[in-house]
Amino acid sequence: MMKPLVLLVDDEVPFVETMTKRLKKRDLVVNSAYSGQEALDILDKHRNTDVVILDVKMPGMDGIETLEKIKKSYPLTEVVMLTGHATVESAIEGMKKGAYDYLMKPCDIDQLMQKVEEATQKKLVHEDKIKEAKVKEAMSMHGLE
Amino acid sequence: MDQDKGTHNGYYYSLTRNMLLVIILVAIMPMIVVSSIILYQFDISYHEKVHAHLEELVLKHKHNIDGFLKQKLGDIRLLGKTFSYEELRDESFLRDRLELLQEIYGPVFVDLGVVNDRGIQVAYAGPFKLGKALYSNAKWFQMAMKSDHVKSDVFLGLRGIPHFIIAVRENYNGQPWILRATVDFVAFNNLVENIRIGETGFAFILNRRGEFQTKPLFDLIANKEPYTDFLKDSEKFQDGVRIIERDDDAGNKVIYVAALLKHGDWLLVYQQKASDAFSDLRRTLRVTIAIMLLAGICIVVIAFILSKRMVNRVASADQEKEMMNEQIVETGKLASVGELASGIAHEINNPVAIMVEEAGWIEDLLEEEEFRGGENLDEFKRALEQIRTQGRRCKEITHKLLSFARKTDSRIQDVQLNDLIEELIALSAQRAKFANVDINVNLQENPPILHVSQTELQQILLNLINNALDAMEKTGGTLNVSSELEGDYIVVEVEDDGPGIPEANIVRIFDPFFTTKPVGKGTGLGLSICYGIIKKMGGDIIVKSTMEVGTTFRVKIPISKDEQTEA
């Protein structure tokens, strides 16, 4: 299995740095960004990103807004929200906007890993389905069926 | 504080007094003014009316009396002219005439007599034996010799009975003779005596010298001022009648009405005490004053009651306002503390997250080969585990703080209170068993469905139950949970028989971060969160506690209106 490509977004630099190291140690390929805009830029370069781990509360473009943009441009990329506050509302809002799941900070690394894997899995399934559909389409176009 | 109360009382006292005065003034002044004007006008017109009435009365009687005298004189004159001296000298003829007169006029004429120029009565008809009586010295005779006819004053005369004489002078063969008639005093007196009005009104006749010509009803001194005044300026009479009011000796006001009779020889006087004449007016006045007094008393009483009630209302409104202010301050305090708390929670959360991550990273690194077998490896792992545990604790605290400001799930749902309570009791049953606590549940049957957030309500009740269990943890005891319907509210009571809450702590138990639990055991946020939630629901939470007896928390949860009607 391919290593999932993860993008970690949070404005807290030490958090991102440490988390990146820990995730890398767990055999993930990790890119990091310190703001919503930077995250979008990196996504543009690495379109094959599987999962974005996104903090809700950030200065400037906040998590929800970033999530909307990501989902618009890269609908297949899954997003796991990290929320500082225990409000169900912000989590629900994130889920409605297309996030895969949410975790509360500080989060357990194992839990996070599990979510990332699930999300990656989901993305792969999606992609397979799309590929299959494309193949079918191509085949029907060429009259092979 | 006492001084404050004192000035408050003074304020309310002066407010009451001012209101009282204003109400009384506004109500009574117009009443007095209007009544006075009406009474004054009434008094004037009533006086005029009474005066006019009396004048009319006296004038009528004056005409009557004058008419009476004139008629009697006419009768005698007719008699004198019709019959000759010779005829009238015959006493039997004269008696016939007298009888005829008496037949026509009643017993007005007492007797008839014919007197010659020397004053000797030559013929007489009547009940007295006055034949040959000598009248030459009688005043009326002397007057009659001078003028055609005479109406004398009342006098006793020869017979010793009050009477007066009407006499006419005729000539026979150049010699004057006089036909004389006596008018019965009683008959004449009746004319005047019949004038009686009220209790003190009566009439009488005076002559020019102030002698009574009729018998007055009451004893009077004829020479008194008013009568002589009338007699003195007789020219002042208008239309023959004059009216004056004057105080008598006793100080009573008396009305005198006078008219001249007999061409000014006699004076007809009617007198009546003013109090009697105006008795109707007096009565009206008395009734009016009584009504006004009564109305005044009513006004004062009502004004008193009204102002008292008004001021009481103002006072209670003030008090309510004060309480409201206190509540607002309290709520504001809680709200600002909540905001502060949530801010702090946010700020702390990130560093804690980083710390936990760093610890996790160290843990990851410890997995590397080089550290394996290090002598302190286990100690490192234990320390890192501790950091993680404490990080989790921080997380719990911050999450509680956050939920203090923002509720975890505030969606309104239909909540079956009894089910919810029983669920909570079941949850707490295990803990209660360890704490040696018996739980009694006494719930209102079929309570109305509540429209509240289930999570929040759960949070409140679970908090209270947990607190109660904490309180009884060491001693054991009984926990009573009951619910009942009270008007628009459902009241849930959580009652323990633990050690109770000291007085000093009672006021602070709803403050955030106030806790009596040992450090690390409680955050001091539970009741504060309960307070915030229940206030937001529109309900209330009250605590009653007695040392060594126990503590009761009462939670009032509002029932929404439509549910109430259904229930």
For A21-44, how does the pLDDT look when each residue is reduced to its tens digit (9 = 90+)? 999 988 899 999 999 999 999 999
Tell me which of B342, B347, B354 to substitute to probe the interface with A (most A C-beta atoms closer than 10 Å).
B354
pLDDT tens-digit profile of A48-80?
899 999 988 888 888 888 999 999 999 889 999
Per-residue HEC secondary structure of B504-557 comes to HHHCCCCCCCCCCCCCCCCCCCHHHHHHHHHHHHCCEEEEEEECCCEEEEEEEE
Confidence (pLDDT) at B521 = 64
Closest Cβ opposite residue A14 in set B354, B395, B406: B354
Cα–Cα distance for residue pair B337/B513, rounded to 1 Å: 10
pLDDT-derived band at B2 (thresholds 50, 70, 90) equals very low
Cα–Cα distance for residue pair B472/B479, rounded to 1 Å: 9
Mean residue pLDDT of chain B comes to: 81
- Report helix, strand or coil for B226: helix
- Report helix, strand or coil for B182: strand
CA neighbours within 13 Å on the CB side: how many for B209? 4
Contact, A40 vs A70, CB < 8 A? yes
Which tokens go with A27? 């055999």
- Which uninterrupted H or E stretch holds B517? none
CB contact under 8 A, A106 and B352: yes
Q: Please provide the size of chain B in residues.
A: 567
Mean pLDDT of B51-73: 86
Instruction: Give, rounded to a whole angstrom, the gap between the first and last alpha carbons of chain A.
Output: 31
Confidence (pLDDT) at B417 = 86
CB contact under 8 A, A87 and B361: no
pLDDT-derived band at B404 (thresholds 50, 70, 90) equals low
Tell me which of B339, B347, B361 to substitute to probe the interface with A (most A C-beta atoms closer than 10 Å).
B361
pLDDT over 80 (residue B360): yes
Written as one string, the DSSP assignment of B487-506 is TTEEEEEEEE-SS---HHHH
| Chain A touched by B198 (CB under 8 Å) | no
Minimum Cα–Cα distance from B347: chain A residue: A84
pLDDT tens-digit profile of B488-531?
889 999 998 888 888 888 888 887 777 777 765 666 777 887 88
| Chain A touched by B402 (CB under 8 Å) | yes
Confidence (pLDDT) at B563 = 45
Most confident of A63-72, A87-96, B185-194, B399-408: A63-72
pLDDT-derived band at B207 (thresholds 50, 70, 90) equals confident
pLDDT over 50 (residue B252): yes
pLDDT tens-digit profile of B84-109?
888 888 888 888 888 888 888 888 88
Mean pLDDT of B224-245: 69
Confidence (pLDDT) at A145 = 52
pLDDT tens-digit profile of B468-484?
888 888 888 889 999 88
Rounding to the nearest 10 degrees, give the CA dihedral for residues B429, B430, B435, B438.
Answer: 30
Mean pLDDT of B44-60: 88
Inter-axis angle of helices B526-537 and B454-471, nearest 10: 140
Before A14, cis peptide (omega within 30)? no
Backbone angles phi, psi at A132, to 5 degrees: -55, -45
pLDDT over 70 (residue A116): yes
Written as one string, the DSSP assignment of B402-470 is HHHHS-S----EEE-HHHHHHHHHHHHHHHHHHTTEEEEEE--SSPPPEEE-HHHHHHHHHHHHHHHHH
Minimum Cα–Cα distance from A12: chain B residue: B350
- Report helix, strand or coil for B481: strand
CB contact under 8 A, A12 and B399: no
Identify which has the larger pLDDT, B484 or B454. Answer: B484
Most confident of A1-5, B22-26, B196-200, B325-329: B22-26
Confidence (pLDDT) at B1 = 43
Decide yes or no: CATH 3.30.450.20 for domain B407-566.
Answer: no
* B chain contacts of residue A105, beta-carbon cutoff 8 Å: 349-350, 353, 395
Residue A50 Cα distances to A124, A125, A138, B335, angstroms: 8, 12, 26, 43
Closest Cβ opposite residue A18 in set B354, B408, B409: B354
Identify which has the larger pLDDT, B517 or B461. Answer: B461
Domain residue spans of chain A: 5-120
Confidence (pLDDT) at B485 = 87
Backbone angles phi, psi at B112, to 5 degrees: -130, 150
pLDDT over 50 (residue B566): no
Cα–Cα distance for residue pair B340/A93, rounded to 1 Å: 25
pLDDT-derived band at A113 (thresholds 50, 70, 90) equals very high
Written as one string, the DSSP assignment of B93-132 is HHHHHHHHHHHHH-TTEEEEEEEETTSBEEEEESSS--TT
pLDDT over 80 (residue B187): no
pLDDT-derived band at B71 (thresholds 50, 70, 90) equals confident
- Which uninterrupted H or E stretch holds A93? helix A88-96
Q: Is the dihedral of CA A39, A40, A46, A50 positive or negative?
A: positive
Cα–Cα distance for residue pair B254/B373, rounded to 1 Å: 142
Mean pLDDT of B181-196: 79
Question: Within its chain, how far is the Cα of B158 from the centroid?
Answer: 75
Minimum Cα–Cα distance from A112: chain B residue: B357
**Token pair 């323990």 in the structure block, residue:** B496
Closest Cβ opposite residue B402 in set A18, A85, A107: A85
pLDDT over 70 (residue B48): yes
Query: CATH number for the A5-120 domain, one of 3.20.20.70, 3.40.50.2300, 3.40.50.620, 3.90.180.10?
Result: 3.40.50.2300
Confidence (pLDDT) at B405 = 58
**Token pair 């004389």 in the structure block, residue:** B180
Confidence (pLDDT) at A31 = 93
Rounding to the nearest 10 degrees, give the CA dihedral for residues B495, B499, B504, B509.
Answer: -40
**What proportion of chain B, given as a percentage, has pLDDT over 90?**
5
pLDDT over 70 (residue A1): no
Q: Is the dihedral of CA B216, B218, B224, B225 positive or negative?
A: negative
Closest by Cα among B243, B255, B274, B153 to B206: B153
